[in-house]
Structures are given as structure tokens and as C-alpha cells.
Structure 1
Amino acid sequence: MKKQYVILGLLLGCLQFAQAQFTLDGEFRPRTEYLHGFGNLIPEASEPDFFTVTRARLNAGYSTESYKIYMSIQDILLWGENPQIVHSDINNKFDLFEAWAELQLGKGWSTKLGRQVLSYDDQRILGGLDWAQQGRNHDAALIKYAKDDFALDLALAFNQDNLGAAGNLYATTPLFSYKTMQMLHLNKKFGDFTGSLLAMNTGYQNGTPGVSNLQTFGTHLNYKKGAFGVTANAYIQTGERLGEIDVKGAYDLSLDLSYKASEKVSIGAGVEVISGNDAGAGETGAFFPLYGTNHKFNGLMDYFYVGNHANTIGLVDIHLGADFKLSETSNLSVNILNFSGEQELASGEKSLGTELDLVFAKKFNGYSLVLGYSQMFAADGMYELKGITKADAADGQNWAWAMLVIKPKFLN
């Protein structure tokens, strides 16, 4: 009789497992970089940087008809940072990148709670920043609705970095971290056309209990018909930036065109205009793209809006690019970007320079290799902007990198 109960229990367990799905996968991504002017102009007297950083991730997911659970742990390893025979990670870069649960509420509604990636549209305002080895995440509650070609997401967050005394509602000090966040994103497809609307408020702690609230509103539009595509962004910002700085008239406008000339060649061209600061003391007209994947925009060398270029002369980015499919497993992308300020520098100069970006990707059996090279041809305005004279700057401001990507599927 006991044997029958055991068999029945095993059958019930197998039935439950069959109705659910468990996945276990990972990522191993070392990247070696040679920096001779990445993010800033390097002086002639300075030595270039050279290092290798690895991202190692382990991802586990479990889903049923009523809920999903997902966890992603990662470690970011700078080669050589740990002394020999060290028994722990002394740099505290081992962390929980994602940990969330999504509950199905019925009739198209669901809610996603926990540490998660918020990535929308072309990732200009909210993105996962996957290029950075650490990535970008948010601790938030997300309410979702989806039906046919319509989707609605509402995100809510209230952050702390220190519990402090009981009842302390004000403790968020890390740079660029918001205290509160409310975000509404709407997306609708109309055949070949897709449109999105975004409304977001981010509150930044100035003290106890002061909070500056910044509002970002805008739209992302995308049209694709056959070989031709058009993408446009239009965003504005108002309210207060961190430090109680009034934001007035800040905007980000962009237009990109793409054309698939053949099965092996695609070309594109576009322009982005980001407002600069033309306001008086205590005010700004400069737009900042907040929590997007900024490495994707304005050149791969990250001279603009990647921990820099905030509240300054803005940017006009005119770019041309082409993608070449070299074989079934390899491709090459070439992009040329010309930069100038939306506002003038103190000298009256606007021109900042031109950047060339080359990226080659090759797929192998189970892994891929990506190589990149970028060169900045700085104009006089770039030297003024970055606070270095042309005579003191090194010749050939460039950056090169190589990245190996392995994504094993352990269990599915």
C-alpha cells in the first residue's frame, strides 16, 4: 500500500513539473579594452589604459500558468584585482542582478515585483545598458496590461539605501539614484506603424526631507515598410533636477532613416538634437536622457551623456552608417558621427568633432566574438569642452576592444 502511495506521489509530482517550466542558463563575457581617449581626450603625458573585465551570470527561471519567478546572479571580475589565494571577493561586485516574480491576474493583467530591467522602445530613456558589464536594473513594482496590439506598463518605486532609524523615509544618497519613480508607458501597433507614449516622474533627494521632482514626457514612433524604415523620438523635461535646479524648455528630438539595399547591405542616416543649458543661475534648459542605454547613442566612445556632459551645451549628432553581412556567421558595421553643441561654447565655437566606429561580429559553434575600433577626430570645440589644449592632447584619440560571448543553456 505504501508503494502505491509513493508511486501516486511521484506521478503527481511529474504532472506538476510537466505543467511548469524550469530554465537554467548562464553567460560568460570577458572583454579586453585598450583606451587611448575613450570618454575623454587623453593628454600626451598620460599612459593609455588596458584591462580585461569578465561578466559571469547564472540565470534561473520557473514559470507556471499563474506566475513566473526569475533570478539572475552575477559577478564582475577585473582581471588581477584580487590578491593571490584570496578567499572572497574583496570588491563586493558579486550581486543579485535580477530577482522578480510576475503574477498573472487575468484578462490581460499581470504584476511584476522586484529587481528587474526596465527597457522600452529604443532604450533612449529606459534601457538595460547591457553593454556595461554590470548592467542596469530597478527595484520596482510593475503593473502590466496587454491585449492584441496594445500594451500598458505602470512602474512604481520608492528607494532606500540605509534603513537608519525606525520610520526614516529619507535615505538615498548614491549619485544619480532616484528616491521615487512613477512611470507610465503605452504602446500600440497599427500595421506597419508602432507608437509609444512615456510619462515619468523621478524624485531626487536633496536633504531631509527635500525631494526634487523631474518629469519626462515623450513619444517614440517607428514605421517599417518593406526595406524602408523610419524611427523618431520626441521628449521634453520639466520640473527640478537634483539640487533643486529648475528645468525649463529641455528637449530631445531625433529622426533616423534605414534602408535595406540588399540581402547583405543595410544603410542608415539620422540626426539627434539634445538641448543645452541656456538658462540663468538656478535654472537649466539642458535635457538629460536619464536611465537609457546611452552607450548605444552619440558614438561608442561615450563622450556624451555617459556619466558626463550633463547640464552643458547640449548636442547635435548627425550620423551615417552601414551594416554589411559578410557571411552567414559574420557582419561588419561602420558608423560615422559628426558632433556639435546645441549651444555655443564660451569662445563661440560649436563644432566638436567626428567619430568613426567599426564593429565586427563573428558567430562560432556555441559562442561569438565581437571586435571594435573607434577613432575620435576632435575639433577645436572638443578641446575647449573637455578642458585641454590641443598641444597637450595625445595624437590619435582611439579605443579598441575584443569581447567573447558564451551563453550556455544548462537546462530547459
Structure 2
Amino acid sequence: MKNINLLFSLICFVSISVSYAQLTVDAELRPRYEYRHGYKTLFSDDVDASSFVSQRTRLNIDYQSEKLRIFLSPQDIRVWGDVPQLNTKDNNGFSLHQAWAEVFIDSSFTLKVGRQEIVYDDQRMFGSVGWAQQSRSHDAAMVKFKEKNTKLHLAAAFNQERESLTGNILTLNTYKSFQYIWANQTWNNFSGSFLFLNNGMQNIEANQYIEGVSYSQTAGFHLNFKNNNLKLSSNFYYQFGEDAFKNDIKAYLVSLEAKYKTNDEFSFRLGGELQSGNDNTLINDGENNAFQPFYGTNHKFNGFMDYYYVGNHANSVGLLDLYANVNYAFQPLTNFDLTAHQFFSAAELDDDSSKDLGLEIDFVFSHQLNKDVGLKLGYSHYLESTGTQVLKNNFDGNTNNWGWVMLTVNPEIFKFSFD
């Protein structure tokens, strides 16, 4: 209740203390039912499928004047039933997803500071991870430049667990610091982005965090070309430096996708992505060849069942993902989407196994009930191979599928301009 009173006090203060500004408040309520029977890993014998409803509830407050913008986004994330009835206290899921200020220095430069989503290009390296109920945000400072068709961002972040008198060891499962530069240029039918990320991880020794930070570097390009109904996009990234265990990193990601839109109803996509890995999932002679898509929206890539790179598959055999997609808009408010992924390991699994990691089919149906309410449902099925069994260390041979239904209620509560 104190948090709600604070938010409304801020709204009232802003409303009476400025000469010209705009204030927008919107809300999001997103319950999602899931049935998990082989989600993220192969389903084992003698266990039951999981079913639950999770929910995201957000209030977004966006204030903007000529020289300043402030954005606040408190949220509550919960699973239905995780707090008992008649409970006198509920602190389980409340958090502050975003809280940032952007100062407009002049027509080209801005300074943005605070907890914020960082999203670039196709979200391969930096994304909001919107599928996850909690999503991803960073405590960072950013300088932004924009003029005509050119954009340039410089940003930095430094993480600590708490205020302290001595020491800088970070034991949380996150980065210690990062610095990056992102540049984007747009022409008539072509656009390109360059990213250089210097990523610092707390050193680990004997499974314990120790003093010191190892830095890895990721450099590469995201490219787009569009001509009438054809769109081509590609990623090229290379990683070097050190991982948290002080192994040398030599890794890469390459992808290419073609999308063709026949009309307002049908579109098709064909593509492939290769992320390098380590033979037999082992780091040999202090050299780590496994690519890490650090802060991307990984759920968007490599199959919705999240077998790869969503809290798993780090420092493993890498991945070759060949995929095909068809999208059909039955009407302006209704959409069908079907994707097939054929997976292979990029490096050797072992001396005997094929690199074939199986096939995944993802189906999603979407319907917009009205301007504030949308409905989505999905079903995914993973057809495992011997390679999948070796990688996941499960040889039970069970069916692996996953289904979900999600309702998104996102109304604009009010929008007010005053001068």
C-alpha cells in the first residue's frame, strides 16, 4: 500500500510542478497457464507433468517534458497460489522493473540513467526477454546520439550486492560490469548495426567467487536488407577475452534469414544460425569455444521449448539451428504461426553419436479481442534423437511437449497533457 501511495503522490507532484509536460499511465495484467511435459529438457520416467498459472502485473508511468523524461514500471510476478489465503504480508513478487530518467541535453544528445530495458536490433545480444514474466532490465548509464539516419549509444554498468566498507566480490548470478558501444546507420533499403561489448564477470575458482574480474569482448554486426516483399537479415559476432574461470574465449555466432511476404495474409521465413561450441562439452587446454548470447531474448530464437541458451547450454557443444516458418493472418486480428527447427550440435557430442539433436515444432495462435485485450495460445513438440538423449543424459524415450494459454490486458488508464 505504501508503494501505491508513493506512486500517486509522485503523479500529483509532477502534475502541479511543471509548465508543460505529458503524463501517460497504462497497466498490464498477464496471466499465463502452462502445461510442461518435457519443457527445457527431456521428460523422465516416474515423474508427473507440471501445470501452473503465472501472472505479471505492471503499472507503467511515463512523464515527459521538453528536457526530461521519467519512466517508472513497478511489477508483481507470482504463481497463482504461492501466497496463502488470509496472508497478512505479501512480499514475494513485487519488484521495480524499470526506473529511469532521460535528460535531453540538446536535439542530438541525451543521457539516460537508471534501471532500464536495453534492446537492440533483433534482440540477439541485448533484449527485453518479454516472454519471461519478470523480463530483463539493467542498472546502467547511457549516452545516446541521434541525427538523421545515424544512432550511437555508449553505456556502462557496475554491479554490487550492497553498500559495504570493504571488498567488491559479487556472488549474485549476474555480470560484474559491462561497457559497450552500439552504432546504427540506415540507408534506403539497407541498415546496419555494430556492437562492441566489454563484459566483466566475477572470477570463480573451485566453484567459489573470488576477488578479480575477467573480461570478454564481443564484436559484430547486425545487417538488414529489404526490397519490396523480400527481407534479408544476418548476424555476425565474434567473442574473445576470458571467461569467469580465466579460460581463453574463441567463439562465434553467424546467422542468415530470408523472409518473403506474398501478400497481407501470408509470409514465409527460412534461416539458419550457427553458434560455436566445445567438443564433448569440455573446455580443453584452457580454450573455451562456446559462444554466449549474453543478454539477448534467447526464447525468441532456437525453439520456444527453450532447450538451448535459456538458463542452460552454457559452455556446451554449441548449436546449428536450421528453421522454416509460415505465418498466416486469417484476419487483421487473428494470426497463425508455425515454425520447424532442426537442431545439430556445432561441436562433437562424443566419439560415437551423431550431431543430430532432433526436431522441434512450434505453433502459436493469436487473437486480439479488442484494443486492450489479446489472447495467445501455443503448442510445441520436441522429437528427440539419440544426440538429444546423450546431451540431456536422458534415455527414457518419453513424449516431450508443452502447451500454454496467455491473456494480456494492457489498457491505457489515462493520458494528460498540461501547459
- Structure 2: tracts of 5 or more residues without a match: 1-13, 204-208
Bigger mean CA deviation after superposition, 15-24 or 334-343? 15-24
- 1:282-361 paired onto structure 2 within 5 Å: 282-346=286-350, 347-361=352-366
Q: TM-score, normalised by structure 2?
A: 0.91
Structure 1 CA distance for aligned equivalents of residues 108 and 402 of structure 2: 47
Give the paired residue count: 392
Partner of 1:115: 115
Structure 1 CA distance for aligned equivalents of residues 15 and 343 of structure 2: 60
Structure 2 letter corresponding to 1:270: G
- Structure 1: tracts of 5 or more residues without a match: 1-12
Partner of 2:367: 362
Seen in structure 2, the aligned counterparts of structure 1 residues 15 and 97 have a Cα distance that, compared at 3 Å, is: closer
| CA contact 2:353–2:386 (8 Å) conserved in 1 | no
1:61-109 Cα deviation digits (max 9, x unpaired): 1111001011000000100111111122242x20110000000111400
Q: Aligned with 2:387: secondary structure?
A: helix
Structure 2 letter corresponding to 1:101: A
Fraction of identical pairs, as percent: 41
Q: Offset at 1:262?
A: 1.8
Query: Are 2:385 and 1:379 aligned?
Result: yes
Partner of 1:401: 404
Q: Offset at 1:219?
A: 0.3
Structure 1 letter corresponding to 2:407: L
1:134-168 Cα deviation digits (max 9, x unpaired): 0000000000000000000111111101223x253
Query: Are 2:182 and 1:185 aligned?
Result: yes
- 1:236-251 paired onto structure 2 within 5 Å: 236-248=238-250, 250-251=251-252
Seen in structure 2, the aligned counterparts of structure 1 residues 15 and 209 have a Cα distance that, compared at 3 Å, is: closer
| CA contact 1:287–1:314 (8 Å) conserved in 2 | yes
Q: Aligned with 2:211: secondary structure?
A: coil
Partner of 1:137: 137
Structure 1 letter corresponding to 2:123: Q
Structure 1 letter corresponding to 2:412: K
Partner of 1:195: 192
Bigger mean CA deviation after superposition, 147-156 or 340-349? 340-349
Partner of 2:31: 30
Q: Aligned with 2:53: secondary structure?
A: strand
Structure 2 letter corresponding to 1:172: L
Q: Aligned with 1:210: secondary structure?
A: strand
Seen in structure 2, the aligned counterparts of structure 1 residues 15 and 96 have a Cα distance that, compared at 3 Å, is: closer
Flag the structure with larger Rg. 1
Partner of 1:174: 172
Structure 2 CA distance for aligned equivalents of residues 327 and 107 of structure 1: 41
- 1:130-169 paired onto structure 2 within 5 Å: 130-164=130-164, 166-168=165-167
1:227-262 Cα deviation digits (max 9, x unpaired): 0000000001001112222212x0000000000012
Structure 1 CA distance for aligned equivalents of residues 20 and 228 of structure 2: 40
Runs of 4+, deviation exceeding 3 Å? 13-18
Seen in structure 2, the aligned counterparts of structure 1 residues 311 and 208 have a Cα distance that, compared at 3 Å, is: closer
| CA contact 1:104–1:110 (8 Å) conserved in 2 | yes
Seen in structure 2, the aligned counterparts of structure 1 residues 113 and 135 have a Cα distance that, compared at 3 Å, is: same
Structure 2 CA distance for aligned equivalents of residues 14 and 372 of structure 1: 43
CA RMSD of aligned residues (A): 1.5
Structure 2 CA distance for aligned equivalents of residues 104 and 371 of structure 1: 41
Q: Offset at 1:329?
A: 1.0
Structure 1 CA distance for aligned equivalents of residues 46 and 166 of structure 2: 52
Partner of 2:10: none
